[in-house]
Structure formats: structure tokens, C-alpha cells
């Protein structure tokens, strides 16, 4: 997988190609993380919100990465849970 981006809730870092960079504060139990993938022309970016507050654009230029972009959710600890509440494609 060449084009991987993510937000690590354990430390608040964002990651592209497995290189982590400081992005936001870490998430805790009960936090609501929203990931927005905007592939409209002249947007092509990934951003996040935490508990309704924007964390800003994590990565832009998705269209420049080629045909395949992989956006991941990951769980760091055993017994942690992930719930996808809403999924929308326009």
C-alpha cells in the first residue's frame, strides 16, 4: 500500500506512508472522531474533527497520489472498539 494516511488516536499524530507528524491531541474513551474524505475537484483532502471541533486538514492533494488512496482506521489496544456511525458518498 503506497498511499496510506491515518490519524493515530493514541498520540494525536497524523501519518502518511507510515511517517508520523504531530497533528492534534490524542483521543480518549468516549471521544467522537469524524474523518472527512473530500474528493471533489480542487479539494481532494482528508480532515478530522474530534467531538465536533475541527482538527484541520490532515492531508491535501489526494488526486496527486495516483489512482489508489487507502484511508485506514486502526485500533491500538486489545479490547478497544471502533464504531462507524455514518458513511456517505455524494
**Is residue 76, in this structure, part of any structural domain at all?**
no
- For the beta carbon of residue 50, count every other beta carbon within 10 angstroms: 19
**Is residue 77, in this structure, part of any structural domain at all?**
no
Domain hosting residue 17, numbered range: 4-71
Q: Report the number of distinct structural domains present in the chain.
A: 1
**Is residue 42, in this structure, part of any structural domain at all?**
yes
**What pLDDT, on the 0 to 100 scale, is given for residue 53?**
95
**Is residue 90, in this structure, part of any structural domain at all?**
no
pLDDT tens for each residue of the chain, 90 residues long: 557 788 888 899 998 887 899 999 998 888 888 888 888 888 888 899 999 999 999 988 877 777 676 666 667 777 777 777 777 666
Global pTM?
A: 0.77
33-44 pLDDT, tens digit per residue, is 888 888 888 888
**What pLDDT, on the 0 to 100 scale, is given for residue 77?**
74
**Is residue 79, in this structure, part of any structural domain at all?**
no
**Is residue 29, in this structure, part of any structural domain at all?**
yes
> What CATH number is given to the structural domain containing 31?
2.60.120.920
- Interior CA angle at 40 toward 31 and 55, to 5°? 25
HEC secondary structure over the chain:
CCCEEEECCCCCEEEECCEEEECCCCCCCCCCEEEEEECCCCCCEEEEEECCEEEEEEECCHHHHCCCCEECCCCCCCCCCCCCCCCCCC
Amino acid at each position: 500500500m503506497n498511499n496510506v494516511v491515518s490519524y493515530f488516536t493514541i498520540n494525536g499524530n497524523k501519518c502518511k506512508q507510515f511517517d508520523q507528524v504531530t497533528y492534534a491531541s490524542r483521543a480518549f474513551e468516549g471521544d467522537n472522531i469524524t474523518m472527512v474524505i473530500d474528493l471533489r475537484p480542487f479539494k481532494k483532502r482528508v480532515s478530522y474533527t474530534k467531538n465536533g471541533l475541527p482538527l484541520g486538514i490532515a492531508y491535501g492533494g489526494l488526486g496527486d497520489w495516483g489512482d489508489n488512496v487507502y484511508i485506514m482506521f486502526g485500533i491500538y489496544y486489545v479490547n478497544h472498539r471502533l464504531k462507524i456511525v455514518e458513511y456517505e458518498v455524494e
